[in-house]
Amino acid sequence: MTGIDQRVASAPSEVSTPQRKHVRRKLRLLAHLAEGLITCALLFWWVRLETKQRLIQRWSRKLLALFRVSLVVHGEPVAGKDLAGSMLVSNHVSWIDIYAINSWYPPRFVAKSEIRSWPIIGWLCAQTGVLFVERARKRDAHRIMHVIADAMRSGDVICVFPEGTTSDGLQLLPFHANLFQAPVSAGAPIRPLALRYRIAETGELTTIPAYIGDLSMMDTINAMLNGPPLVVEVFVGPAVAPEMDRRGLAAHSHDAVAALIDRAG
């Protein structure tokens, strides 16, 4: 009976250990979020763009580390001057895609206007230069095309997810052509990107970070915190010149991103 009693007594402690780890990880995430809020509030209004980008990159890399996600970049090394005035076009798996790309190079993202109303996250997005668009309003879509084109003419790097929604990361959805009018108007090059998530230990592709279906953002956060360490791969393709109309450019960019995904295996 003594041995049985000891095993029963130790069971609650064993069960609660993962729970305690999970709580500690969430507390570290909250502290990191608070650090981001303070940085934006105190520094972003007066520091230079290059400094702001370094702060965003450092904060994003730490966020990935808190989720135990390692970043691996494939492709020829690309400097900021190589990306200036271009549009990055990527497949879309999860909200954490933004921080994976930021960890490589922080661009200005284009996002749906609903995100602006999200508590804390919406304010952080606005402070980091996100361009919001009301996709349901054709007039606003026309406005944002001019804003994006002007931003690229000024040398800004813009990033879009032209699938218009997230996928499980194992397939590439069709691209919406509307966003491609901006690089056509600005004469700006397209730079295709592809994101893949893998289990770090085995290299197996995974849908753990996928923000799809009825899953909430908290569901994906819990899945990553409770799951195994991951690797996010960013595949960077060669620039595509905008020597076609928006539909042709959308189709060409889709093929370029699909080729990067196929190369990833």
What pTM does this model have? 0.90
pLDDT in tens, 191-205: 999 999 999 999 999
Q: Please state, rounded to an integer, the average pLDDT across all residues of the chain.
A: 90
Beta strands in 91-189 (DSSP E): 108-112, 131-133, 158-160
3-state secondary structure of 30: helix
pLDDT in tens, 29-75: 999 999 999 999 999 989 999 999 999 999 999 999 999 999 999 99
3-state secondary structure of 193: strand
3-state secondary structure of 130: coil
Domain ranges of the chain: 2-264
